[in-house]
Amino acid sequence: MRLARFDGGRLGVVVGEDIADITGLVGGDPQQWPDMTMVRLIRDFDHVRGDIEGALAGLPRKPLAQVRLETPVPWPNKIIAYPVNYHAHGREMQAQYRATNQGFFLKPNSALSGPADPIMLPAVPGREVHHESELAIIIGKECRGVAREDWQDVVFGYACLLDMVVRGREERVFRKAYDTFCPVGPWITTADEVTDPAALDMKLWVNGDLRQSANTRDLVLDIPGMVATASAVMTLYPGDIIATGTPEGVGPVVDGDRIRIVIDQVGEMAVDVVQGNQGMTEVFAQPYVPPIVKQS
Ligand code: MN
């Protein structure tokens, strides 16, 4: 099932080129703040899935093209992100470490945006803002200390994610925390619809130019390992998002660009890039150009 948020916090199931509105069916309240309806739906999904499937044919529908899709989980408990989790990306960044010996970092929930929201570039002269194409894992169960072999029990689904970053040597979280630096979408594809998340092609284009092309089989720390590592440290909650790391081919984006990400069986979205006028800080006073080593 493909679960989306749209038109001001409504919940929907994507069926072909349409979206069926399940807001009333699942007791969603688009006016509620903070908007936890998707988190609750994920928590309760095993119980309500049958009701949704039974009612689907009779629910009001709109063409997808006529709705505004929004980030699927706007208030997760946390966004976990694994750095340098593809060897070729490690080589292009000349990083000596990998996710397997480095662990994870967190991105702020306020960085989340949706498939219809532009990425707002901060006004940081002398710096590059890079795209990172990533598969997102959406956690389905409250859990702690999940063994590798039990990873499927707690994974709810998958989505496309862009981990945007100001390149530099400063604190990683600081450089990855700007508003709109974590587009997620276009919806959550539930895990049962993905044959093997460790064999998914993922591609990213900027203005039609293919920049990143990889397969999740090349993840250094695999999905069972990411779930085990994160849950060894923290309790995971329904709706938590794991950014699984980017492959090689990262690079700068500028005002007017359009980033398109496609992940097999999961979805695709295209996001505009707009130069904003906020966000300069003394931390970025020194110019920096990353020495990316092109991978063939
Ligand atoms: Mn990343």
Identify whether residues 14 and 119 lie together within a single domain: no
pLDDT for 269 beyond 90:
yes
* Alpha carbon of 204 to ligand 1 centroid (Å): 14
* Alpha carbon of 4 to ligand 1 centroid (Å): 23
pLDDT for 170 beyond 90:
yes
Identify whether residues 145 and 199 lie together within a single domain: yes
* Alpha carbon of 147 to ligand 1 centroid (Å): 24
Average pLDDT, the chain: 97
Whole-number Cα distances in Å, 285 to 104, 188, 262, 277? 27, 39, 35, 16
* Alpha carbon of 98 to ligand 1 centroid (Å): 12
Residues 184-242: tens digit of each pLDDT: 999 999 999 999 999 999 999 999 999 999 999 999 999 999 999 999 999 999 999 99
* Alpha carbon of 60 to ligand 1 centroid (Å): 38
Task: For residue 22, give the DSSP letter.
Answer: -
Q: Of the candidates 30, 52, 70, which is a domain's last residue? A: 70
Residue 173, number of CB atoms within 10 A of its CB: 12
Identify whether residues 88 and 53 lie together within a single domain: no
pLDDT for 296 beyond 80:
no
Residues 246-255: tens digit of each pLDDT: 999 999 999 9
* Alpha carbon of 20 to ligand 1 centroid (Å): 33
3-state secondary structure labels for all residues of 76-121: CCCEEECCCCEHHHHHHHCCCCCHHHHCCEEECHHHEECCCCCEEE
Domain range for 30 is: 2-70
- Residue 244 domain flag: yes
* Alpha carbon of 164 to ligand 1 centroid (Å): 7
Identify whether residues 45 and 90 lie together within a single domain: no
* Alpha carbon of 61 to ligand 1 centroid (Å): 35
Q: Of the candidates 70, 98, 114, which is a domain's last residue? A: 70
* Alpha carbon of 69 to ligand 1 centroid (Å): 23
* Alpha carbon of 94 to ligand 1 centroid (Å): 15
pLDDT for 28 beyond 90:
no
pLDDT of residue 212: 98
CATH code assigned at 9: 2.30.30.370
Identify whether residues 94 and 61 lie together within a single domain: no
* Alpha carbon of 17 to ligand 1 centroid (Å): 30
Identify whether residues 146 and 273 lie together within a single domain: yes
Identify whether residues 25 and 126 lie together within a single domain: no
Strand, helix or coil at 142? coil
Identify whether residues 23 and 100 lie together within a single domain: no
Residues 58-96: tens digit of each pLDDT: 999 999 999 999 999 999 999 999 999 999 999 999 999
- Contact of 234 with 78, CB cutoff 8 Å: yes
- Contact of 68 with 5, CB cutoff 8 Å: no
pLDDT of residue 137: 98
- Residue 100 domain flag: yes
Task: Place 267 in a pLDDT band, splitting at 50, 70 and 90.
Answer: very high
* Alpha carbon of 249 to ligand 1 centroid (Å): 12
* Alpha carbon of 134 to ligand 1 centroid (Å): 7
* Alpha carbon of 243 to ligand 1 centroid (Å): 7
Identify whether residues 101 and 43 lie together within a single domain: no
pLDDT for 156 beyond 80:
yes
Identify whether residues 154 and 56 lie together within a single domain: no
* Alpha carbon of 80 to ligand 1 centroid (Å): 10
Residues 97-116: tens digit of each pLDDT: 999 999 999 999 999 999 99
pLDDT of residue 30: 87
Identify whether residues 44 and 85 lie together within a single domain: no
Helices (H) and strands (E) in the chain, counts: 5, 20
pLDDT of residue 9: 96
- In the predicted model, what is the mean pLDDT of residues 3-22? 97
* Alpha carbon of 132 to ligand 1 centroid (Å): 6
Residue 50: phi and psi, rounded to 5, are -60, -40
- Residue 288 domain flag: no
pLDDT of residue 238: 98
CATH code assigned at 167: 3.90.850.10
Q: Of the candidates 37, 70, 103, which is a domain's last residue? A: 70
- Residue 234 domain flag: yes
* Alpha carbon of 12 to ligand 1 centroid (Å): 28
- Residue 190 domain flag: yes
Count up the domains in the chain and report the number: 2
* Alpha carbon of 68 to ligand 1 centroid (Å): 26
Identify whether residues 152 and 266 lie together within a single domain: yes
- In the predicted model, what is the mean pLDDT of residues 134-139? 98
- Residue 54 domain flag: yes
* Alpha carbon of 85 to ligand 1 centroid (Å): 8
